Amino acid sequence: MKAIIKKYLKINNYDKKQNDFENLFLSHPNYPSLFAITDTLDMLSIENVAAKVPKEQFPELPNSFLAVFNDDITLVTKQNNEIAVEKEKEGKKKVSTDDFLNKWNGVVIAIEQGVKLERKRLSLFKSKYVLLVLILFSLFVIKMEQMNGLISIFNFGIILIGVLISVLIVDEKLNTLDGAISKICSFSEKTSCDSVIKSKNAKITKWLDFSDLPILFFSVSALLIVIDESNLKLINFLSVLSLPIILYSIWLQQSKLKKWCVLCLGISSLLIIQAALFFIVNQPLTWNLLSITNVLLVMVPIWFFWKPILFKRVELQKKNIELIKFKRNYTVFKSLQKEIVNEQRLKALTKVEIGNKNASVNLTLILSPSCSFCHTAFENGLELVNSSLNKVRLTVFFNLNPDNKDNPYLSIVESILQINENMPEKIVEAISDWHIKKMSLEDWKEKWEQKKKDSNIVQIIREQYEWCSDNNFNYTPVKLLNSKLFPGEYDIEEVKYFISELEEELQPILV
């Protein structure tokens, strides 16, 4: 499902948000529901709508959208009189408009077209597969000049292709295979690399399975050829010995699993070609035991040292997603919030308000100009407001003793509150200059200090200070969310996970 949605994002010029979408979507507590999709789009500030549309209004829908088709999330593209429907496992196919309308339940998800950015040339080394192909091709070209005869060159090419396919098999085992190769693995109902490679029948021992054999065989073979071309005959002989394993693999796929692994068939084909070359090429079979032993002593330990690290990394990623999913559970978040003293008095305090004043989600920050952690808190709070599509407002006040005239930062708070009264359109810039740009005290006062201050400014600071004392807030920053203490286990940017639930909770209940 995620691949289909990522493709839809790309169509609408949200290429840079594809990876962010995947991480947020997979860790959503309601994954893989429609709500998880729309909520994740909201978190990424992508305007979207999910609705049930009357089938008569189908012509009015955009040229591409997501739909529930045959009870599955499908990417739909309108093309003249035909409809292209694409599912993650089944790929793309064309259906008639009538056939689509009969199997469509009317539910669509559509997003607003993003701004098309000028495409930059991607570095070839961005893709590990492209990098691997370049390395193997370079090795082939270098070695080709030293080899005798086209058959030897062809044989070496077969081995390098085997290395590439072996890496793809390992990636499939690790669940990291993506893109065109992944589609090839599942281009029909009878093909599934995943089902075959991860089958229990693919296990040989506790520490060895069939996915290990290709990477070991072809990597060892490649290194042996690099060392000495005469090892080709030996490798072809070993390919002959692998024929029973190939037959077992084919029987397993056809009779037991009833699924074909395209990558496995590719490896089998290469081994059969190499086995045939053993009988075709008239060359003496030599056993260079020293080079064979040296290569095995290098490659086997490297693989079995690196393999658990790769699998552990994937396992940790899965656990991390589960932990994030738990952390993003609103019930957990809400249970960690604490009540404050005198909530009504808090609402009556004069404060700085930033963003949509009618937003139902209110993040309150209690700051001090001398607190370095307050710089980060304000910056994160302002970023949340700017990215929340007017769904969050930021409220700021200060915890500062107005009777301490020796505090050099007192004049900053007095000036900020005065600016809030006289020039509210400048308040964000004034606070940002201090907390985000971190201007020096002298520079900030030169730019923003208010020479004339209203008599009520000191009283406002006193009321804020006293309210903080009543709640034993003798530290800054203090973070409140909708008048409840923000859990210390969460960061401000994580509020975006709960905006929908917070809005829903504050909706009036109609009786």
CATH code (residue 418): 3.40.30.10
pLDDT at residue 119, rounded to an integer: 44
Is residue 119 a part of any domain in this protein? no
The verdict on 275 and 412 lying in the same domain is no
The verdict on 61 and 91 lying in the same domain is yes
The verdict on 70 and 218 lying in the same domain is no
The verdict on 447 and 384 lying in the same domain is yes
Is residue 149 a part of any domain in this protein? yes
Is residue 287 a part of any domain in this protein? yes
Question: Which residues, including other chains, have CB under 8 Å from residue 465's CB and lie 6 or more apart?
Answer: 398, 399, 400, 401, 402
CB 450 within 8 A of CB 418: yes
Tokens at 247, concatenated: 């037959």
Instruction: Indicate which CATH number applies to the domain containing 64.
Output: 3.90.70.10
The verdict on 262 and 307 lying in the same domain is yes
The verdict on 26 and 99 lying in the same domain is yes
The verdict on 156 and 251 lying in the same domain is yes
Reference 365, options 382, 389, 348; nearest CA is 382
Please give the residue range of the domain that contains residue 139: 124-323
Q: pLDDT tens digits for the chain (511 residues)?
A: 778 888 888 888 887 888 888 888 888 878 888 888 988 888 888 888 888 888 888 888 888 899 888 888 889 888 777 788 888 767 778 888 888 888 888 898 998 887 654 444 434 344 567 888 888 888 888 888 788 888 889 999 999 999 999 998 888 888 766 655 666 776 666 788 878 888 887 777 777 888 889 999 999 999 998 888 888 888 999 999 999 999 999 998 888 888 888 899 999 999 999 999 999 888 778 777 788 888 888 888 998 898 889 888 888 888 888 888 888 899 999 999 999 998 899 999 999 999 999 998 999 999 999 998 999 999 999 999 998 888 999 999 999 999 988 899 999 999 999 999 999 999 999 999 999 999 999 999 999 999 888 889 999 999 999 999 999 998 999 999 999 999 989 999 999 889 988 988 876 544 3
Is residue 197 a part of any domain in this protein? yes
Which string of DSSP letters, residue by residue, matches 220-285? Answer: HHHHHHHH-GGGHHHHHHHHHHTHHHHHHHHHIIIIII--B-HHHHHHHHHHHHHHHHHHHS----
Is residue 165 a part of any domain in this protein? yes
As for how many domains the chain has, the answer is: 3
Find the distance separating the first CA and the last CA of the chain, reported in whole Å.
Answer: 39
The verdict on 340 and 309 lying in the same domain is no
Is residue 118 a part of any domain in this protein? no
The helix/strand count (H/E) of the chain reads as 21, 11
Is residue 116 a part of any domain in this protein? no
The verdict on 345 and 318 lying in the same domain is no
The verdict on 241 and 189 lying in the same domain is yes
pLDDT at residue 57, rounded to an integer: 87
CA torsion sign for 26, 27, 33, 36 is negative
The verdict on 101 and 191 lying in the same domain is no
The verdict on 222 and 361 lying in the same domain is no
pLDDT at residue 15, rounded to an integer: 79
pLDDT at residue 491, rounded to an integer: 93
Phi then psi for residue 476, to 5 deg, are -140, 155
